[in-house]
Structure 1
Amino acid sequence: MADSLQGETVLVVGRGSGIARAIVDSAAAEGARVIAAGRNRDALATAYKDTGVSVKSVDMTDETSIAALADEVGGVHHVVSTASARARGAVRDLTPEAILLSFHTKVVGPIMLAKHFAPKMPRTGSFVLFSGVAALEPDPGYLGVAATNGSVNVVIRSLAVELAPLRVNAISPGTVDTGAWDGLGEKKDAFLETKSATNPARRIGTPEDIAQAVLFALTNTFMTGVSLAVDGGQPLV
């Protein structure tokens, strides 16, 4: 698949590490010109120093910021959004603010990306959004996450029809150790060991696993409206 994105521009929204970084590196290795955008432009500039990756600022909870980014970078071939704000916690502890931040970051923001970028993209372009295994695997403490991810799975189907022939897909990762689980503290290692022992793949996912799936979604021109599970079979058990 060498140079499969040669001559194309890929915008990746997210942090300068973890899954977003793996996607940026993979897209660049396939010949793409990559633009990385996120709320903390200074952190992105540090992360991508001397890599040739262009860095921009965007707030996924602010349509004005998204529109400004679209005006600044102009036409791109592909847009990937990995941004998230997880509303974890039992229902008794959830707040409207946490749930709305999760939706604004992962659902409303990507819809606004489509609104402002789609008119500037070639017919062969695509969007890749991020869902997640919580949408398929109900688990106490993850109601807010599940509701957000389930909404992404609906959004990509609707956008795929409305924006056609632009393609719109989602990646639905399972448990991936990117630092997102560091909040578990001393319980983190036991949590990851349990997931490794019980899912059919018998291991935890890596950012590179997810980046490979993103490249597939970007380059397979006959796939649209699909939420692609890259989860080690986690919902099966």
Structure 2
Amino acid sequence: MRKDLECVTWKAIVLFTVLKERKMAGTLQGKTVLVIGRGSGISRAIVDAAIAEGARVIAAGRNREALEAAYKETGVSVESVDVTDENSIVALAETLGPVDHVVSTASARAKGALGELSAEAILTSFRTKVVGPIILAKHFAPRMPATGSFVMFSGASALRPEPGFLAVGATNGAVDTVVRSLAVELAPIRVNAVSPGTVDSGAWDGLGESKAPFFEKMAAANPVRRIGAPEDIAQAVIFALTNTFMTGVSMAIDGGQPLV
């Protein structure tokens, strides 16, 4: 009986040690993750989360100086890229060579009622959030391992139409379609999207004094009764990067916003 107890105890110690080592190593240990976006808000939360999981992170965006300032002394490599320019994407792919995962948070939301929308604003939204990720996949997928993945960004407006969000919703809906199509075409490389609801990421700061009452209204209506945080979205991105049995999915991290 004592020997059996000692055996069970020893196995428990070994299992605990293994799990502890895995946790310390991180789920992205030894992987290279390219995060495209700004050096703040959701992009920054994703970078921080990927680093915590052991990844080597490269941050890229249109404003390289701002990224360098944001990631100074973090160990994050910084590169320039304009996702609306295929030549810029090609140059980045050739500079970096093989990467394991690509996350694109770039967006140019064309908000406004129908009478306020311009064709150029709508096209810029699509070029940034739909066409850009397609071209990223075109040039990075051939350089990625079979275990690699892409994470794109959709949004709750794809599921819940609201006045003033016509072009935003159309863009996000297109992202959801692209994700499913690329998941099939690039297999076994995985392609997923994260679809946030209202998140206090800095994107709503332009509302000024109207921001607080808007957030209060959204929080009161959401089933989770709060506004999202960048860390909520970053956790979902890490899950998408590391769950090797998930592809072609747009994960709704929105507090249940489309339900009400």
Specify the TM-score bucket, using the shorter chain as the normaliser.
Answer: over 0.9
Structure 1 residue 66 displacement after superposition: 0.4
Deviation at 1:136, TM superposition (A): 0.6
Residues 44-77 of structure 1: CA distance to partner in whole angstroms, max 9, x if unpaired?
A: 0000000000000000110000010000000000
Deviations 1:136-190 (A, max 9, x none): 1100000010000000000000000000000000000000011111222221111
Amino acid at match of 2:137: A
Deviation for aligned residue 1:23: 0.3
Write out per-residue CA displacement over residues 86-106 of structure 1, whole angstroms, 9 at most, x where no aligned residue: 000000000001000000000
SS at match of 2:145: coil
Deviant stretches of 4+, over 2 Å: none
Calculate the TM-score normalised by the size of structure 2: 0.90
List aligned pairs for 1:16-95, cutoff 5 A.
16-95=39-118
CA RMSD of aligned residues (A): 0.6
Structure 2: distance between partners of 1:155 and 1:10:
21
What residue number does 2:166 align with?
143
Q: Which of 177, 180, 201 is the aligned partner of 1:154?
A: 177
Matching residue's letter, 2:96: V
Q: Distance in 2 between matches of 1:182 and 1:87?
A: 16
Amino acid at match of 1:11: L
Q: Counterparts of 1:7 and 1:182 in 2: how far apart (Å)?
A: 36
Q: Which structure's residues are more often helix, by fraction?
A: 2
Q: Where does structure 2 lack aligned partners over 5 or more consecutive residues? A: 1-22
Among 38, 50, 57, the alignment partner of 1:15 is 38
Among the aligned pairs, what percent are the same residue? 74
SS at structure 2 position matched to 1:92: helix
**Whole-angstrom CA distance in 1 between matches of 2:202 and 2:29:** 31
Q: Which runs of 5+ in 1 are unaligned?
A: none
SS of corresponding position for 2:255 = coil
Q: Secondary structure of 2:116's match? A: coil
- Output aligned runs, 1:166-177, within 5 Å: 166-177=189-200
SS in 2 for 1:169: strand
Q: Max radius of gyration: which structure?
A: 2
Match of 1:4 in 2: 27
Residue aligning to 2:230: 207
Q: For 1:20 and 1:181, how far apart are their aligned partners in 2?
A: 15
2:142 maps to 1:116: no
Equivalent position SS for 2:114: coil
Equivalents in 2 of 1:177, 1:26: separation in Å? Answer: 17
TM-score when normalising by structure 1? 0.99
Per-residue CA distance 1:117-142 (angstroms, 9 max, x = gap): 00000000000000000101100000
For 2:11, the equivalent position in structure 1 comes to: none
Partner of 2:244: 221
